Structures are given as C-alpha cells and as structure tokens.
Structure 1
Amino acid sequence: MQRPIKVLMLPWLAHGHISPFLELAKRLSTRNFHIHLCSTPVNLSSIKPKISDKYSSSIELVELHLPSLPDLPPHYHTTKGLPPHLMNTLKVAFDMASLGFSDIVKSLGPDLLICDLFQPWAAEVAKSHGLPTVVFFIVGARTISFMFHMIKNASTRVKDEDRVLQSVERSSNFILLKTFREMDGKYMDYLSSLSGKKVLTVGPLVEDPDNMEDGDSIIEWLDKREQSSTIFVSFGSEYFLTEKEREEIAHGLELSNVNFIWVIRFPVGESIELEEALPKGFLERVRDRGLVIDGWAPQGKILEHPSIGGFVSHCGWGSLMESMKSGVPIIAMPMLHDQPLNARMVEEVGVGLEVKRNESGELERLEIGKVIKDVVVEKDGDSVRKKTKEMSDIIRNKGEEELDEVVDALVQLCARCTEQSTS
C-alpha cells in the first residue's frame, strides 16, 4: 500500500468554517490521507472532543499561535464570542501569523495544503515550500459566483473581496465547494466560467448526528410529538437576536399554533433570564407545545427526528445543508452575510419559503406565523415538503460519489507536483 498523502488544512478562525474542514478531514482520512488540521489553541480545544478514536491516528491537530496584540488576548483568537469591533484586528493578527505557519509547513512536510478563502498568504507560503494549494469554500456556489461577478465588474474593491480573488487565483486548477450539483449546479458552472477553475463538490459534509452527545431530554420531548408536527428555530452560533426580533418571533410562533423548539443565544458576558428576554407570559402560554432552550442544542439530532416538519433558520450554509440532508423544509429568516442569497436559493429550488420583512426591513409576527403554517401545515406547502424530501433522497443515494472525484483530483495533483519536483 502506498504511504498516506499528508494534507495540511488551514480554515478561517470561525466555528462555521472549522467544522466543515474537520468533516472533510474525517472523510479523507478513510481514503489514505493523513490530515493535519491547523488553527488557534482556543478553536482546537472546542473541536478536539469531536475526533473519536476512529480518527485519532489519522487526524492531528496543529496549533497556530497568533501574535500577541493588546486588544486581542488568546481567548479572542476565534470569532466565537469575539466583540464585533475586534474582527478586523483578528484578521490582521491572522495575517501576521504567516511566518509561524511557514515554520509549521517546514516542520510537517505535507504534500498538499487545503485552505480557506480569507488567507491568500497561505497559498504563497505553500508555494515557497513547493506545495500545491486547493481552496475549499464552505459556502454555496451562488455566493462565491456572486462575489466573483461583483469583483470582476466593480471599479473599486474592498480588502475581503481581494482576499477571495487572490485565494482562487493561487489555488490549483480546481476548487472545492461544500454543496451538491442538484442544489447549486448552474452557479457552479457560472463560477467555473468566471474563475477559469474546475469546481468540484464534496457534498453537504454534515456531521453524523450519532456522534453528537447530550440532548437526550430534547429527543424525549420530541418523541411525544406527532410526525412532522414540530419546527426547530435556531439562528446559528454567531448571531444574536435583538429584543425586537425576539418579541416578533415569539408572537409569530404563538400565532402559528405549531409545536416548536427554539434555541436562543446571548452574547458572551450577557446574563439574561429567558423570562426577561421574551414577552411577558409567553413561556407559560406555550408550555404545552414549546420548548425554549438557552444556549445550545444538538441541531443535527433534532433535524433528523421524524417529528420535525420545518426549520426556522438564518440560512447559514451549514444549516441549509443539514436541513437538506434531513429532508426538513426551511422557513427562511436571513440576517447577514451570504444569508439573503441563500434564502433566495431556498425559494428558487423550492425547498422552503422566506419570511418577508416590512418596508423598514423588520420582521413581523403575522408574516412569521403565516409562513410557518404554510410550510408545515397548509396544503400550499405540499410542494415544498415534497421537494425537500427529494433533495434528501438525492444526498443519501449519492453516498460518497462526489468524494470519489475529489480524492482522484487530489491524488493526481500531488502526483503531478511530485513529478515536477523530481524532473
């Protein structure tokens, strides 16, 4: 048997980026790849428990130490819990870590670098050590092709757009996307034509719900509900609802008369009781059909449960992929970043409906309640429920088909680089 191909992975410092890289690492590790996943100590401490004994010999965690800056202590070397005004400081510190990263490359001697879109300097470091680079986008092709289109046609650009363009330009002859063709096909083709690179998909890369710990009491609560009768409400790990948004969503859930599990998160350091954060009497009024959770819930497990019939989501790409694999229709409430584009795709593909905002851009309870009922209960939602089930079947039937093509491309890339270095 040939020796494993050594891959060094460097994602951006956000949980929503690191998790897909870890899932890709798990899948590659079963195909004769040895993975070194590189991030800051604070990020690695949170993902270490997710590496079971099955992967412990083929996935190694490598610490990247950012420079010490006055405003950025080590516990802020991650986007989780990072005050918004320090985001640019974190990006600067990440860029300043290129020398340390070069030492890591030299020490490990990998065959290949797989990196994220925000650090084009990583590809330059790899090149200086004779390594090929492949860029892995953890968002959909629609978002990346939109960014590329704007970059190509804009008279001025901002720094983040430059990062994306440079990352793709410095990648090998192909790029990887966390998506699947049936969802994203025409945008994949458009991105390929814009970038001049082949676009390969790795599938939805959803964490195995069986590996998720805790949440037994939530599952027991769901077991008592009828099939497809309940919605899951969550807005990701890094967006915090305003008081007004919480109020409108609470009243919308109440008006829908649908069972629900609602996960509410508050910024680090904010200590608010749920009773204070929600409309007066809300918890008492919905106690027989609603479960409100402060902080965290096993999203993958919940979405796989047969009683779940809808997902009120911010439309983060990872959440959409989980929902598609589980066959759960989306009630879209995009908040920021790529989420509005993702919400449009949800409606375009036919796997959900978006909650429309008023002229002031605000959520309204009547609209929230109506869309929830349309998706979960009303006959009008039949086509959405059917289409989502079709998407789930496609994903499950494909299995590892997409990964096969990715593995072949990575093996061939490493072989070409080896030939060039020895000739």
Structure 2
Amino acid sequence: MEKEIHQIPPRIVILVTPGMGHLIPVIEFAKRLISFYPDFLVTFFIPTDGSSVKAQKKVLNSLPKFITYMFLPQVNFDDLSDDVKAETRMCLTFSRSLSSLRVALKDIMGSSRVVALVVDSFGTDAFDVAKELDLPHYIFITSSAMWLAFLLELPKLDAIYSGEYKDMPEPLKLPGCVPLHGIDFVDPCQDRMNEAYKWLLHLSKRHSYADGILVNSSIDIEPGCLKVLQDGNPDTPPVYAVGPLIRTCDDANSEETDGSECLKWLDGQPLGSVLFVSFGSGGTLSNEQLTELAIGLEMSEQRFLWVVKSPSDTAANATYFSAHSVKDPFGFLPKGFLERTKGIGLVVSSWAPQIQILSHGSTGGFLMHCGWNSTLESIVHGVPLIGWPLYAEQKMNAVMLYDMKIALKPKFDVNGLVRREDIAQVVKTLMDGEEGMKVRNKIEELKCAAVAVLRENGSSTKSLCKVALKWKNHNYKYQ
C-alpha cells in the first residue's frame, strides 16, 4: 500500500497573498520546482477580498498544466472602514478564508497526494488547518532574508521595548544584517497601537511553528543574514534560500498594451543611457512629489523612461489592490513637461514591460521603490539603482541596498520629500558620475553571483532540491 501511495505524484498547495507582488515569486518557484521535478503537481489557493483578479488570472492561465489554481470564496469586508491598513486587510483576508481553505484542502487531499502546505508570511494562521489535517506546513518569504530575521526577532523586541520603535535610541542589530533604526522598520511598526501592528506581531510569533521556511534570496545576496538563519538559532525552522526567483517575461501581465512603444523607443537610445523610473505595481507619489520628480528629471538632462501613475495624497500604496490608476496621470504632470522633454524622455501611463526594459542594453539605471521583486530583477540584470522606498518593508530593503553599495540614496527633506535639485543631482551621479560607476561595478559582480546560484550545482538549486526531496518522502496518509 505504501509503495502504491508513493507512486502517486506529490502535490504541494500554496496559499497566496492577494496582489501581484506576492503571486509572481511563488509562481516562479512552482515553475522552477517542476523544471527539476516534473512529477510534482502544484495548486495555488488564492483568497479574495473583492479586488480585481483580472491581472492575476491572466498570469495564472498562462501556466503549465501541472500548475493549477483555485480562488477561494470572497470574504466580506463590509465591517471595515475605508482607511484600514493594507496589512490588516491582507491578514483578515486570510483569517476569514480559513473555513473555505479547510474545505478546499480536504477536497484536494481526498483525490491527490498533498505533501505540504506552503503559505505566505501573512498566512500563518493557516497552520492550524494544516495541523488538523496532519499536513507539513512551510512559509515562503517573498521578501528578503533580513525581513525574515526581523519577523523572528519582533516578538522579543516587543517584550523588552515599550515605547514606539521610531523613538528607539539605538538601532536594532539583527545578527548578520545591517543595523536598522526604528524609523526604517516596516510600516505597521510605526504605530504599535494600530491594528496592523497587532496582526504583524501575532503572525510573527507563528513563524517558528513552520516545518521549514523558503526565502526568495541567496547566500551571495545576503551572506551574513542567511548564514545566521541557517546555522545559528536551534529554535529557528530550517531555512532554504531558493532565490533569486524573478519572472522571465511580462507578456501575461499586460492588459491593454504589449509595451512595444517603450521597447522601440529604447532601441533608438545609446547604450546604457536611459534611467528607468517606476515605483512598482502598488506605489504612488503625492501631487507635490510627482511635480518635484518631473522637474528633477528634466533638470538632470539625462534620458529617462518613466512609468507615471496618478498621484495620491493619502497613501503611498494607493494602487496596491488595483492593477492600474483610475485617472489619467498625464493630467497631473507640470504644464509643458511632456513637450519640453520630448526626445530625451518617454512617459508611459501606469504600466510598462519591466523585465524587457531592465534587460535592454539602453537601460543604464533604475529609480525604484525598493520592492523586493524589483530589487532582484535589477540584480539579475545588473542594473544600478536609486533606492526610493515608499511603504511596507521597502525602507528596510533600502537600508540594506545602500549598505551593499548597489543603490544610491536620494536626499529626503524633513517632510519626506525629495526636492527637484536633489533628484537632478542623484540622477546625474548614477548615470554619469564616479560614484555611479562604483555602483554599476558592484551590481555587475552581484549579477554574476546571482546567475551562478541558480545553476544545477548552485547553492539555491541545492536548497530547492533539499526541500523537494523532503516533500517527496513525506509519509502521506489518505484522508
């Protein structure tokens, strides 16, 4: 009987946080797993909160037949106020989907050999369901190893420090990581009385319950942190560095355009001459900051390709739960800006084929929001950075990127704005300065290392194989 069970293809179920930024890396993980172990099956369970799923479906429908997906029934948020934090919304999406997750898991376990449940950092409440079903449960960290180290440390920090973290007199020294000042902690940690912080603390305490933790990073990108996580604390679950996992094309992400305008324009620009400017799928600037950025780019006299979105004066992640801005962003640009920069710059609305742009020979720099997906894409393609964090854990990422010397830091004023003169200066420095050349050389070194870890005998491939074999050998029990 046991022999017959092990002849059934092993399946893992991945519970995904809503949002393209979380979906993309786990999709790439699933594709890579199956490329090495074709007998595996992967099913995504995706909780829904009422946000548009059109972009997600386009990506999911393009996947190989061995990867399937299911949207869980939509949860009800009628009791939430309009100003609820994004982190609270994500956590509630998971917690209110547990009953439907239980039903879906039981159903799929009745017809196939499920060997593990893999969840996002925001989905660790699902461990309770996994334990009920005697199912091994893992976490997939879609951000950095430093983010994992921070989550593991947060319960201890909460117990010993009673004030607001932004007022901490000394930086937090996570083993193997660059010191972090409280003001650079993840957004929910800026107000410990907020519900979002309470959720983050609750979920962080559950990370130690995992049977293992996969991280979208590599030993070459975060050597000190990963060494400590993998070798240091006996209370930490096994940590598998399986990255950098990035999307290989943007074709399925485009809803209304194929991005050919951007690529044709880049084809006509000199080698390494263009600064790509984009703040990710969820990032938005204020009206004032949008104006400062536009004029700063113009003052720099450098070539640029800018993905512009309509501004928001209320939230830096205003477009996180939607694929595109509702209003035409061009109407918010300074008068005459498009005419004055015609030829030297190209401005596109809301979306551009980021992978193709970063891999294009004419792209010589990237002004970005320090989201982890974009960071890894930049490293893999060897594009030097200007790190301009907006929300979530992006300030933490930025501190690390500055310390690694693969990103320049813009000058923020007391109001958190980057003024036009400082924008012009940091752009000139990256694209045509001595310091920019040092950044370019450093990220080129990292690019070579990032390619090596994903080869057949690379460290990240070995980590993937290690956890995959563990799953394959799981002593499965029929439900």
Q: Report the TM-score, using the length of structure 2 for normalisation.
A: 0.79
- Read off the aligned partner of 1:254 and give its amino acid letter: E
**1 CA distance for matches of 2:89 and 2:60?**
30
1:407 maps onto 2:465 in alignment: yes
**1 CA distance for matches of 2:325 and 2:351?**
15
> Could you tell me how far 1:363 is from its partner in structure 2?
1.0
**Could you give the per-residue CA deviations for residues 97-148 of structure 1, whole angstroms, max 9, x where no partner exists?**
1111011111111211111111222111111111101101001012221333
Q: Match of 1:16?
A: 21
- Read off the aligned partner of 2:470 and give its amino acid letter: Q
Aligned residues: 409
Contact 1:145 1:187 in 2 (8 A): yes
**Could you give the per-residue CA deviations for residues 258-303 of structure 1, whole angstroms, max 9, x where no partner exists?**
1111111235696544443111111111011111111111111110
1:117 maps onto 2:175 in alignment: no
Q: Match of 1:135?
A: 139
Q: 5 Å matches for 1:242-281?
A: 242-266=286-310, 267=319, 272-281=327-336
Question: Per chain length, whose mean CA-contact separation is higher, i.e. which structure has more relative contact order (CA < 8 Å, sep 6+)?
Answer: 2
1:6 to 4, 7, 11: 11
Contact 1:176 1:202 in 2 (8 A): yes
Q: Match of 1:75?
A: none
> Could you tell me how far 1:196 is from its partner in structure 2?
1.9
Q: 5 Å matches for 1:60-75?
A: 60-70=68-78
Q: Match of 2:158?
A: 154
- For the aligned residue pairs, the C-alpha RMSD in angstroms reads 2.5
Contact 1:13 1:43 in 2 (8 A): no
CA separation of 1:43 and 1:167: change in aligned 2, threshold 3 A: farther
CA separation of 1:362 and 1:374: change in aligned 2, threshold 3 A: same
> Could you tell me how far 1:2 is from its partner in structure 2?
4.7
> Could you tell me how far 1:404 is from its partner in structure 2?
3.4
- Read off the aligned partner of 1:103 and give its amino acid letter: V
1:284 maps onto 2:293 in alignment: no
Q: Structure 2: 5+ residue runs without aligned partners?
A: 1-5, 163-191, 311-318
CA separation of 1:238 and 1:271: change in aligned 2, threshold 3 A: closer
Contact 1:120 1:166 in 2 (8 A): no
> Could you tell me how far 1:28 is from its partner in structure 2?
1.4
CA separation of 1:93 and 1:216: change in aligned 2, threshold 3 A: closer
1:176 maps onto 2:214 in alignment: yes
- Read off the aligned partner of 2:105 and give its amino acid letter: V
> Could you tell me how far 1:57 is from its partner in structure 2?
1.7
Q: Match of 2:107?
A: 107
CA separation of 1:197 and 1:351: change in aligned 2, threshold 3 A: same
**Could you give the per-residue CA deviations for residues 20-70 of structure 1, whole angstroms, max 9, x where no partner exists?**
1111111112213200011146665423333476x4320001121133343
CA separation of 1:89 and 1:357: change in aligned 2, threshold 3 A: closer
Q: Helix, strand or coil for the counterpart of 2:30?
A: helix
**1 CA distance for matches of 2:448 and 2:341?**
34
Contact 1:231 1:258 in 2 (8 A): yes
Tell me which moved more, 303-312 or 112-121: 112-121
2:351 to 293, 296, 299: 296
**2 CA distance for matches of 1:210 and 1:277?**
27
1:48 maps onto 2:57 in alignment: yes
- Read off the aligned partner of 2:467 and give its amino acid letter: A
Q: Helix, strand or coil for the counterpart of 2:140?
A: strand
**2 CA distance for matches of 1:411 and 1:43?**
36
Q: 5 Å matches for 1:233-244?
A: 233-244=277-288
Contact 2:34 2:41 in 1 (8 A): yes
Going by fraction, where is helix more abundant, 1 or 2?
1
| Identity across matched positions, percent | 28
Contact 1:15 1:43 in 2 (8 A): no
CA separation of 1:83 and 1:105: change in aligned 2, threshold 3 A: same
Contact 1:313 1:331 in 2 (8 A): yes
Contact 1:237 1:265 in 2 (8 A): no
Q: Match of 2:245?
A: 205
Q: Structure 1: 5+ residue runs without aligned partners?
A: 73-81
> Could you tell me how far 1:416 is from its partner in structure 2?
4.4
Q: Match of 1:77?
A: none
**2 CA distance for matches of 1:369 and 1:274?**
22
Contact 1:151 1:161 in 2 (8 A): no
- Read off the aligned partner of 1:327 and give its amino acid letter: G
Q: Helix, strand or coil for the counterpart of 1:61?
A: strand
Contact 1:7 1:111 in 2 (8 A): yes
- Read off the aligned partner of 2:106 and give its amino acid letter: K
Q: Report the TM-score, using the length of structure 1 for normalisation.
A: 0.89
